[in-house]
Amino acid sequence: MAKAVQDNPTMEIRDFFYAAEARIDRWRTVNRVAKALATSQRPAAGPGEDPRALLAELQPLEELCGYPGPGLMAQVHERLQTGDWTGFARLVQRISSALLSNSYRDDQQVWRVEENGEARVPDILPPSIGRGQSHRPYFEVLLVSPAERAAWPEIRETFRRLRRVEDEFVYEPVVVGSLEDAALAVVFNPNLQAVVISDGFGYASQYTVPVLREILTRQVELAESARGGDLGTVLAQMVRRWRPELDVYLTTDRDVARLAGSAEAAPIRRIFYGVEEPMEIHLAILDGVKDRYETPYFDNLKHYAQRPIGTFHALPVARGKSIFKSNWIRDMGEFYGANLFLAESSATTGGLDSLLEPTGNIKVAQDKAARALGGDRSFFVTNGTSTSNKIVHQALLKPGDIVLIDRDCHKSHHYGLVLAGAQPLYIDAFPLTQYSMYGSLAIKPIKKALLQLKAEGKLDRAKLLVLTNCTFDGHVANVKRTMLECLAIKPDLVFLWDEAWFGFARFSPFLRRRTGMAGAAAIRELMRDPEYRKRYEAFKSNAGKLDPKDPKLLDMELLPDPDKVRVRVYETDSVHKSMSSLRQGSIIVVADQEFHTVEPAFKEAFFTHTSTSPNLQIIASLDVARRQMELEGYELVGRAMQLALEIRRQINTHPLISKYFRIATPAEMIPAEYRKSGFTDWDAPGWTMTDTMGALNDDEFYLDPTRITLLCGAAGYDGTQFKALLASEHDIQINKTSRNSVLVQININNTRSDLAHLIKALADMARGIEKRLAEGGPDEQAAFKARVKSLVEDVPDLPDFQRFHDAFRDDPKSATQEGHMREAYYMAYDAANIEHVKLNSKEIDERLAKGPELVSAKFVIPYPPGFPIMVPGQVVTKEIITFMRKLDVKEIHGYNAGKGLELLKPDTLAKHRTKAPGRSAPPVHGGA
């Protein structure tokens, strides 16, 4: 890393992620060179074989890491200096394997210093569990000091001497002396859990680090403005932005009382006066990590499992007696282990708390999760984000409310709207016809719908905007801008960001800014900013008078009134999809300044959808997943992103694989109009980190690199076929499919071996195709060509939503397309109201040409693409029929090919329409 980061002003994002991997690789190289030295007893002369040069490249990063640390590094250099090749090789071997295996975290032997051929474990207990003691997790603490370099060893020793046997954790101090080095350490040392800043340190790094300015542009601007002054609080803000989970402490000689109450001290956990109390700092550090480490629900569940409890309630598997004593199902106990059953209970007493009415451990665990994900509060859900979404819909919506919603949303939203009785105003996402998938919902059509509602005097009924972020295929919205522009039209609009796939993004400094919660926080900050107020006043005097029908409004960036905006944001995350929770673990995160007005309704909705027997193990795993992400999410997500970028590059540049398989680039997945930065691919020549940061900040859509659309049409496979082939022949499971692609998802669990596995499988398949074509003769080649053409070129157009039948519209002449979907849904419950018409029948064509209109009685959801191409009450258009006829998928929910399409009968619709005036008027809305 060191070199790439130090003097590469045009570093690319993959170099950035590669930096951490490169450190281990570099040590391996030093190890190889050292072994050769020890064997030949003289320095090698080959290029890249000079151990001094290799170590010099490592040095800048080593200075930022606790292990091997300055003591062992000094010894490495000394052996090199004295020509003790054997000793050098032994030491390098130990360091490199300790780094590779992570054993330095709990094996004190790898920290030992060797003197005169004798091993000596340092007097001060090194970061180690020590033999016979229970495991003590290891981390590193950054000490930012104004002291001369010569004093650093003493600073390190001061902190090491504070270690006590009773400490729950053990940490190694890392000392740096400038703001830039501190920032580098925060960025590149994932072992850091706390930063202790002593005011008075300098600005510039001892190394040249242009890349820092690229990564931390905004923060460095802050720092630049504070040059010459005390940089402590500036550094604290930088840390908060890059890794908000780290604890920051400040020791200062300034007026601590005044500082403690100031806004600049907000990111600091505790302020100390001078260095009067190192032990207090030590205890504060441990306490801060403990706060993240503690999992109140899981801890208590473990405790509960150990107690000799007799159970007389309705759960025979509790304590495992019905299983371990059984003659027939004991294997279940053996398979899952006793703890699972010891931890099963239906009690809400004994500290287990109640998910439905949490007041104890679950409440604390939820508060911690809210902190981790950046919200004001959070709610655990044990039946997936499908349920989280329904809870939010029901909590916020009343019959008659209008909800702006992407038609391509997950089905839980559509069903949620039926339950809530709100009227969906469907808006179409931009299509990616070539891959038979939809992209995401752009800002312009949302604004258009809101402005139309305003023009028709219906804006007060528009309650909620539902958006998927990121989409199944990785489209990430510009959350902040989307919300700002909507709030400019309706300042109290509520947002539900379905981040089922995107929970992990909170722990990436790159993607975090595009989460619902980060958007909410950014808008809160912006609305308080006096500079923004000035911008708003200027905007108002220009655009404020425009008529809602004026098309200019669609093309200009709208700014909301800071005095009127209410920040009301909900985010739902499938913790099980991107973090370490058991299946169905989900969370609702809330940043709603009007929450008090909906709290009773939220409770009711939670009661409606939550089992009275929630699964305790899922709750515990939500608690543990939060702990993991707060302590190692930064590292894990960074590694997943690095892996994803590497897979993309390897496949797209492989001469054989890329003939048949390719990964769709951001330029292919996102139309150019939504990539104003010009971003096309992470690997595009000349594309730098600065460019990446620009695209992340400003583009309307970004692509989550970990969601990889692997195109297989050019290999002659449709998505379903290819998925089956990967599973049966190569033991590879992938996510979803489209007509000519599959989705490969890289997660925090993936490794470089997985990458190799996938690439090998694709290379084998590509070789197989080459062989088949070479040996099959012209017939085989022609058949292959035709198959590829049909998959890649003859793709059906994706049908738009179009409209609800007039029977379900309050005003059929309205320009906005909301409809009473619930009425249509329940109409289909009466068999007398429905008819079936075969998809390929002549009747369908005749009715499309002459009427009466075909109106769906059902949600019809083909997999793929996985969104409802028909919803109850929707008029079925020619485009939909054409699309369905071309669909070659087997799984279509809501459609029975034997019976045909289920439609609402025209005469029922006619009667319903005549009844429509009696429909209860939209409810009067007050408050929220």
Of 380-388, 621-629, 773-781, 842-850: span binding ligand PLP (CB under 6 A): 380-388
Which residues touch 2 (CB under 8 Å, ≥6 apart)?
Answer: 23, 57, 58, 59, 60, 61
Residue position matching structure tokens 């992209």: 439
Residue position matching structure tokens 């404020």: 544
Q: Which parts of 586-605 interact with ligand PLP (CB under 6 A)?
A: 586
Which of 79, 371, 410, 454: binder of ligand PLP (CB under 6 A)? 410
Q: Based on the shown chain and the rule CB under 6 A, indicate whether residue 481 belongs to the binding site for ligand PLP.
A: no
Residue 498 beta carbon to ligand PLP: minimum distance, rounded to whole angstroms: 5
Q: Based on the shown chain and the rule CB under 6 A, indicate whether residue 478 belongs to the binding site for ligand PLP.
A: no
Q: Find, among 54, 71, 70, the residue nearest to 62 by Cα.
A: 70
Residue 446 beta carbon to ligand PLP: minimum distance, rounded to whole angstroms: 17
Residue 467 beta carbon to ligand PLP: minimum distance, rounded to whole angstroms: 10
Residue 468 beta carbon to ligand PLP: minimum distance, rounded to whole angstroms: 5
Is cis: bond before 923, omega within 30 of 0?
no
Which residues touch 839 (CB under 8 Å, ≥6 apart)?
Answer: 881, 884, 885, 897, 900, 901
Burial bucket for residue 650 (CB in 10 Å: 0-12, 13-18, 19+): middle
Q: Find, among 855, 850, 844, 831, the residue nearest to 904 by Cα.
A: 855
Of 179-187, 378-386, 534-542, 742-750: span binding ligand PLP (CB under 6 A): 378-386
Q: Select 468 or 750, whichever has its Cβ closest to ligand PLP.
A: 468
Residue 469 beta carbon to ligand PLP: minimum distance, rounded to whole angstroms: 9
- C-alpha 103: how far from its chain's center? 29
Q: Find, among 243, 184, 269, the residue nearest to 507 by Cα.
A: 243
Q: Which parts of 776-795 interact with ligand PLP (CB under 6 A)?
A: none
Which of 87, 126, 190, 384: binder of ligand PLP (CB under 6 A)? 384
Q: Select 99 or 619, whichever has its Cβ closest to ligand PLP.
A: 619
Residue 235 beta carbon to ligand PLP: minimum distance, rounded to whole angstroms: 38
Neighbour count for residue 328 (Cβ, 10 Å): 7
Question: Residue 150: what residue type?
Answer: A
Of 61-69, 379-387, 488-496, 785-793: span binding ligand PLP (CB under 6 A): 379-387
Of 384-392, 427-435, 593-601, 724-732: span binding ligand PLP (CB under 6 A): 384-392
Residues 411-450 as x/- pattern, contact with ligand PLP by CB under 6 A: -x--------------------------------------
Rounded (10°) CA dihedral 367, 370, 376, 382: -90
Which of 128, 219, 348, 386: binder of ligand PLP (CB under 6 A)? 386
Q: Select 407 or 461, whichever has its Cβ closest to ligand PLP.
A: 407
Residue 891 beta carbon to ligand PLP: minimum distance, rounded to whole angstroms: 14
Rounded (10°) CA dihedral 886, 888, 892, 897: 80
Instruction: Note whether 407 and 467 are within 8 A (CB).
Output: no
Residue 383 beta carbon to ligand PLP: minimum distance, rounded to whole angstroms: 7
Instruction: Considering only CA atoms, give the Rg of the chain.
Output: 31
Residue 570 beta carbon to ligand PLP: minimum distance, rounded to whole angstroms: 13
> What secondary structure does DSSP assign to 831-873, as a single string?
GGGEEEE-TT-HHHHHHHHH-SPPBBSS-BEEETT-S-SB-TT
Residue 754 beta carbon to ligand PLP: minimum distance, rounded to whole angstroms: 21
Compute the Cα dihedral for 39, 40, 43, 46 and give only its sign. Answer: negative
Which residues touch 665 (CB under 8 Å, ≥6 apart)?
Answer: 648, 652, 680, 681
Residues 563-582 as x/- pattern, contact with ligand PLP by CB under 6 A: -----------x--------
Q: Select 269 or 413, whichever has its Cβ closest to ligand PLP.
A: 413
Q: Select 95 or 391, whichever has its Cβ closest to ligand PLP.
A: 391
Which of 252, 300, 378, 468: binder of ligand PLP (CB under 6 A)? 468
Rounded to a whole number of angstroms, the distance between the first and last alpha carbons of the chain is 52
Residues 526-565 as x/- pattern, contact with ligand PLP by CB under 6 A: ----------------------------------------
Q: Select 8 or 572, whichever has its Cβ closest to ligand PLP.
A: 572
Residue 388 beta carbon to ligand PLP: minimum distance, rounded to whole angstroms: 7
Of 48-56, 215-223, 381-389, 399-407: span binding ligand PLP (CB under 6 A): 381-389
Q: Please, how many CA atoms are within 13 Å of residue 702, restricted to the half-sphere of its CB?
A: 27
Q: Select 416 or 562, whichever has its Cβ closest to ligand PLP.
A: 416
Neighbour count for residue 90 (Cβ, 10 Å): 16
Q: Select 128 or 578, whichever has its Cβ closest to ligand PLP.
A: 578
Instruction: Note whether 360 and 299 are within 8 A (CB).
Output: no
Helices and strands, number each (H, E), in the chain: 36, 25
* b (16+ CB within 10 A) / e for 105-135: bbbbebbbeeeeeeeeeeeebbbbbeeeeee
Q: Select 17 or 472, whichever has its Cβ closest to ligand PLP.
A: 472
Which residues touch 902 (CB under 8 Å, ≥6 apart)?
Answer: 828, 834, 835, 836, 856, 857, 858, 894, 895, 896
Please give the helix or strand (H or E) that residue 741 lies within, else none. Answer: strand 741-745
Residue 472 beta carbon to ligand PLP: minimum distance, rounded to whole angstroms: 5
Q: Select 400 or 864, whichever has its Cβ closest to ligand PLP.
A: 864
Residue 797 beta carbon to ligand PLP: minimum distance, rounded to whole angstroms: 23
Q: Find, among 894, 891, 911, the residue nearest to 903 by Cα.
A: 894
Q: Select 205 or 412, whichever has its Cβ closest to ligand PLP.
A: 412
Which of 385, 482, 740, 816: binder of ligand PLP (CB under 6 A)? 385
User: Token digits for 68?
Assistant: 């091997």
Of 60-68, 133-141, 319-327, 382-390: span binding ligand PLP (CB under 6 A): 382-390
Q: Based on the shown chain and the rule CB under 6 A, indicate whether residue 500 belongs to the binding site for ligand PLP.
A: yes
Which of 171, 438, 472, 495: binder of ligand PLP (CB under 6 A)? 472
Q: Select 410 or 414, whichever has its Cβ closest to ligand PLP.
A: 410
CA distance 391 to 385: 9
User: Token digits for 332?
Assistant: 């279940």
Compute the Cα dihedral for 859, 865, 867, 868 and give only its sign. Answer: negative
Geometric angle at alpha carbon 91, from 87 and 93, rounded to 5°: 115
Residue 707 beta carbon to ligand PLP: minimum distance, rounded to whole angstroms: 11
Of 102-110, 194-202, 383-391, 833-841: span binding ligand PLP (CB under 6 A): 383-391
* Total of residues contacting ligand PLP (CB under 6 A): 11
Which residues touch 135 (CB under 8 Å, ≥6 apart)?
Answer: 106, 129
Q: Select 470 or 762, whichever has its Cβ closest to ligand PLP.
A: 470
Residue 501 beta carbon to ligand PLP: minimum distance, rounded to whole angstroms: 6
Write the DSSP symbol of residue 812: T
Residue 760 beta carbon to ligand PLP: minimum distance, rounded to whole angstroms: 29
Question: Which residue has the CB atom at the shortest distance from ligand PLP?
Answer: 384
User: Token digits for 693?
Assistant: 């940061």
Please give the helix or strand (H or E) that residue 562 lies within, else none. Answer: none
Which of 172, 498, 623, 691: binder of ligand PLP (CB under 6 A)? 498
Residues of this chain that interact with ligand PLP (CB under 6 A) are 384-386, 410, 412, 468, 472, 498, 500, 574, 586
